[in-house]
Structures are given as C-alpha cells and as structure tokens.
Amino acid sequence: MERNWLARAIFVLVLIVAACVALIPTFIGTEANPWAEKINSGLSLGLDLKGGIHFVLSVDTEKAAADRLDRRTDEIRIRLDEEKIPYEKVKVIPESYAIEVELKDGANKELFRDKVIDYFGDLKKTGSSGNSYTLTMRDEYVQQLKINAVDQTLETLRSRIDELGLKEPIVTKQGENSILVQLPGYKDVERARSIIGQTAQLEFKIVAEEKDPLGEYNGEVPEGISLITGSGVTPEGTGTSYKYATSKDRAKLREFLKDKAPEGTEFLLEENVLADGSKEYKSWLLDRRAWITGDMLTDARVSIDQQKNRPYVSMNFDKTGAEIFADVTGKNVHRKMAIILDEKVNSAPVIQSRIEGGSAMITLGGNGDYNSIFQEAKDLALVLRAGSLPAPVTFEENRTVGPSLGQDSIDKGKLAVSIGFALVVIFMFLYYGFAGLIADIALFLNLLFIMAAMATFGATLTFPGIAGILLTVGMAVDANVIIFERIKEELRAGKAIEAAIESGFNKAWSAIFDANLTTAITSFVLWEFGTGAIKGFAITLLIGICSSMFTAIFVARVVFNYFLKAHIKMFSHVK
C-alpha cells in the first residue's frame, strides 16, 4: 500500500511540474524569450479576446461554373482542330450552361459525335438543328463543380494565411457558399483583404497580332477612347500592323470592345499608371487558349532587377509547364506573349528566342516607391505559391475587433472564473471541512491541467472557452460531492474511515463516469459539427472533462491517503 501510494504521488507531482513548464511560454511570452518556443508556442487567444480581423466571404460559384464552361469551349475548339472537323463557330450560352457548336457544310457529323460529344463526359447533347448542336453541362456535374469551388477556395485560403505565418487563424466553411476567416492579433486589414480576396488566376496567352478587328471597325468611336496603330508579327513570321484602343475609363473601354473579338480570341486590358498618377487602359487581342496556367507553377518568389533596382516576381514551372513553355516560345519567336493575372494583362513581352528552363517573371509597381513595389511583389508571390482561387470571392462581412474590446472580455472572463472558483472553494471547505480542502486542491490542479493541455496542443482560448472552463469547475466539484456523500453514507453505516473512503470511491465511480461520458459525447458532437465559438467551447469542455475526472478520482484519492497517513481528521462532523 505504501509503495503504491508513493508511486501515485510521484506521478501526480511529475504532472504538476510538467503542467507548470508547459505554461511558461504563456506567461513569459515567446517573442522576448525565443527559447520558450521550444516548449510550445503558448496558449493562443481567440479573436474575441485578442482582437483582430473577422471576414465572411461569399464564393461566386456561378463564375466558377462559367469559367469551366469557357475552358470547355476552348477545349472543344482544340478537339475540332485536332480531328480536322471544320466549324463556323463555338459559342457559349452562359444562362443555360451550354455550348453551341456550328459545323461547316460537309463536316463529318458522325466523327463529331464520336470524337467530340462522346469525348466530354460532362456534356450532353440537348438540341440540334442542321449543322448546329447544343451541348449542355450535366446538372450533377454543375452542382459538384460548385461544391468543389467552395472546398478548393477554403483550402487555398488556408494555404495563403499559413504563408502569412499567423498563429491560430480560423478558416472554416459557413453555409453552402460562404467562408468564415478570423485572424486573431492581425491588424493590417487592407493587406489581409488583398491577399485573401485576390483570385490570382495566372495565364500565358499569345497576342493575336494577325487579326485586326479594330482596324476593320467603321463605326463611331466613343469620346475618351483612342485607336492607335501598333506593329507585330503574324504566325507565318511576316510583319503586320493592327489597331488597339486606349482610354482612362475602364468601363467605357470594356463596353466598346464587347463582341468585337473574332472567333477564338478575346480582348483583355492592361492597366498603366501615368506620371500624374492617373490610370490608362490598353486593349490586347489574345488567343483564347491559355498555354500556361498558374497550376503549373512550382515556385514564385521576389527577386531584384539589378539594372533597374526594382523588385519583380520570378516563377518556375513544373516539368509539363516547362516543356509547353519551351515549345510555345520556340514556335512563336518575335511574337508577343501576354502574361495575364486575374484577367488583366500584366505585360506582353516579345519572344526573342525559345525559352528553356521553365521560368518567367512578372514586373509590377508602376510609379510606386521601392518599398510598396517590394511589398506588392511579396504578396503576389505568396498568393501564387498558395494557388489561385477557383472562383472570385466577395467580402460580405468585414469587421475588426479592437484590443480594448478584447481586453474587456479578458477582464470579465477572469473575474467570472475567479468569482466562481472562490465561491466553490469557500463552500466546499465550509460544508465538508478538510475533505472540502481536498476537493479545492483537486479543483486548482484541474484548472492547471486544463490550461497546460490547451497550451501544449495549441488550442485557442475564446470567450466561449472560458464558459467551458467555468462549466468544468462545476462538474469537477460535482464529482467530489458524489464521492463525499458516498463516504458519509458508509461512515453512517458504521465503517471505519479507511474502509468508508475505499467504498465511497468505488461506489461513486459509475455515476461519475456515466455523467461525464454523456457530456463528452455531447461535446464531441458540438466539436465535430459546430463552427467558430461553438467548436472552441466544445474543445475546452472535452479537455475539462478528462482533467476533472483525473483530478476528482485519481488526485483526490492520493491526497485522501496522505491525510489518512498524517492522521488528519476528515468528516468528523458526520454522525
């Protein structure tokens, strides 16, 4: 018995020391004491306690479906060219998730059905008339595509926020198309919006200099829009000229260019910052086919142009991207290749020769100063590394929690825990005497173990978490009350104190276990299906249940045995 008690006592003491060590980073901080981070990163405070940024984002799943439809349209054109099936046009019908394909007279319709319609499993033929066919995306595919868009956006946002190095952010799905983002302790709202909200869809397309729809335009040019002659090279390598449009009014320019791009091409705009700080937009006519996309990137980082002393983003492609890049640049020497980010032309450099090695660069900044350009390049490299969003996002909620509100919550939480703890301690001692003191010791150790466990496992303490701790305090005392009442019953039955304690703990065990098990099941359900504050409450409660059972049954028993060895009278008031 003596040896068994000593082993238990040593085990409890070791746990107490370990818990104290685990809380060192929380109390002294890791920034001023980096060595403490080797223990753990300390107990993190949630947004409601620490302050920070709260976003609710809405994912434009309709745009994700429309983009996929556009890509399918390009793929159908490529497929038609590969199979040598002549066609008049391939046109998107966005309102019905459909694509209209019009073949030329004499085209092999049987070949079209076998090599195009049957090739794309997500499309089905919903109509035909003469040489015209309507291919519609299947409903189940559209629904799954929208679900995937939200899930992919969620994972991409997590990757971007991880790149920021923030501690304990919350990024979770909310409803069907919304995502909740909380950044405790982060204050730069504009930078957070830029990094989180940027779609970062990167594409490389060839400039269609051989086509000149604006040069052929005979209508009236709206005021504020200028048509300028540019020079280029055709796919055959001969020189050519074409018209492009410029304007300071982006919306007016986009409206003017609408429906003027020939089949298989599109107009996109380049934004230039003038010396006076105003912006001017320039049109580029591009092949619709994107040869290189952002998902082919393996790395993106900030580099410095030594000649101009300006930051830029350098990118490396994977094996497939490098091979395609080398092949496309080799076949389009002296032509322009546009680098497009979020449907805006970043630049359109002339391809001087075949480019091996699979690398490219993006310049930025306009007339900005070095520091702002460097920060812009750094953030762009971050979002490119993390990956593009499959669909644009809209900020539905944008809220900052100031440190004053957070500190007020902390102070009220401390006060609530302190008052609750003090009242329980006083009541237990007054009602149960020295036995109540044992419950108070177990209660104190319970709080110590809860905080240490949360710090060790990197949990975040929130205001609902404090409520969970308060509830745990009551549950821990409840277990002790059950044990003490059982012991008192055994003493009234005439048993000696040692036998009464032994029997009291044994008989109370099933009731304590059942009560805590049912609460744990409820907590697990809240943790599994809840979000945000509910999840924080559930995690804290689960940790508290485990800790309270250990302290009420194991630790209290060790202290009881010590009091018996010291001949300290307990339950002397029982008659």
Q: The domain spanning residue 412 has which CATH number?
A: 1.20.1640.10
Residue 179 lies in a domain: no
Closest CA to 385 of 191, 202, 186: 202
Angle at 564 between CA 562 and CA 568, to 5 degrees: 100
pLDDT at 205: 93
DSSP-assigned states of every residue in 199-253: ---EEEEEB-TT--TTTS--SPPPTTEEEEEEEEE-TTS-EEEEEEEEES-HHHH
Domain check: are 391 and 249 in the same one? yes
Mean of pLDDT values over 426-453: 84
- In sequence order, the 6+-apart residues with CB closer than 8 A to the CB of 214 are 227, 242, 243, 244, 245, 260, 283, 285
Residue 480 lies in a domain: yes
If one counts every other C-beta atom within 10 angstroms of the C-beta of residue 558, the result is 20
Mean pLDDT of the chain: 84
Domain check: are 406 and 547 in the same one? yes
Q: Please, which pLDDT band fits residue 246 given cuts at 50, 70 and 90?
A: very high
Domain check: are 271 and 389 in the same one? yes
Domain boundary among 368, 396, 424: 396
pLDDT digits (tens, 9 = 90+) for 14-46: 998 988 888 887 776 555 555 556 665 667 777
Give the pair of three-digit tokens for residue 414.
């401390």
Q: Residues 524, 510: contact at Cβ < 8 Å?
A: no
- In sequence order, the 6+-apart residues with CB closer than 8 A to the CB of 255 are none
pLDDT at 470: 78
Q: Is the pLDDT of residue 405 over 70?
A: no
Q: Residue 262's domain spans which residues?
A: 202-396
Mean of pLDDT values over 194-213: 88
Pair type for strands 265-273 and 344-347: parallel
Q: Residues 314, 303: contact at Cβ < 8 Å?
A: yes
Domain check: are 530 and 406 in the same one? yes
Residue 165 lies in a domain: no
Give the pair of three-digit tokens for residue 433.
């005497």
Query: CA-to-CA distance for 443 and 449, rounded, in angstroms?
Result: 10
Q: Residues 410, 402: contact at Cβ < 8 Å?
A: no
Q: Is the pLDDT of residue 11 over 60?
A: yes
- C-alpha of 146 from chain center: 17
Query: CA-to-CA distance for 146 and 151, rounded, in angstroms?
Result: 9
pLDDT at 403: 61
Domain check: are 294 and 363 in the same one? yes
Q: Is the pLDDT of residue 409 over 90?
A: no
If one counts every other C-beta atom within 10 angstroms of the C-beta of residue 248, the result is 13
Domain check: are 480 and 530 in the same one? yes
Alpha helices in 266-395 (DSSP H): 319-331, 370-386
pLDDT at 57: 92
Residue-level length of the chain = 575
pLDDT at 565: 74
Domain check: are 259 and 336 in the same one? yes
Residue 407 lies in a domain: yes
Domain boundary among 98, 117, 141: 141
pLDDT at 255: 94
Query: CA-to-CA distance for 42 and 460, rounded, in angstroms?
Result: 10
Tokens 């007016």 -> residue: 252
Domain check: are 435 and 509 in the same one? yes
Domain check: are 373 and 413 in the same one? no
Domain boundary among 396, 427, 461: 396
Residues in a beta bridge with 228: 244
Query: CA-to-CA distance for 334 and 234, rounded, in angstroms?
Result: 9
Q: The domain spanning residue 81 has which CATH number?
A: 3.30.1360
3-class DSSP state of 371: helix
pLDDT at 557: 84
| Helix 434-456 × helix 556-565 angle, to 10° | 140
Q: Residues 276, 286: contact at Cβ < 8 Å?
A: no
Residue 164 lies in a domain: no
Angle at 402 between CA 34 and CA 44, to 5 degrees: 35
Calculate what percentage of the chain has a pLDDT beyond 90: 15
Domain check: are 392 and 412 in the same one? no
Closest CA to 201 of 290, 130, 267, 120: 290
Residue 109 lies in a domain: yes
Number of domains in the chain: 3
* Secondary-structure breakdown of the chain: helix, strand, coil percentages, each rounded to the nearest 5: 50, 25, 25
Residue 531 lies in a domain: yes
Pair type for strands 44-45 and 460-461: parallel
Q: Residues 340, 346: contact at Cβ < 8 Å?
A: yes
Query: CA-to-CA distance for 339 and 50, rounded, in angstroms?
Result: 41
Q: The domain spanning residue 382 has which CATH number?
A: 3.30.1360.200
CA dihedral 107→113→116→122, nearest 10 degrees, is 150
Q: Is the pLDDT of residue 573 over 60?
A: no
Residue 312 lies in a domain: yes
Domain check: are 369 and 459 in the same one? no
pLDDT digits (tens, 9 = 90+) for 165-194: 776 788 888 888 999 898 887 888 888 888
- C-alpha of 447 from chain center: 32
Residue 196, φ and ψ in degrees, nearest 5? -75, -40
137-146, 278-287, 367-376, 479-488: least confidently modelled range? 367-376
Q: Residues 377, 311: contact at Cβ < 8 Å?
A: yes
Mean of pLDDT values over 5-17: 86
Domain check: are 389 and 425 in the same one? no
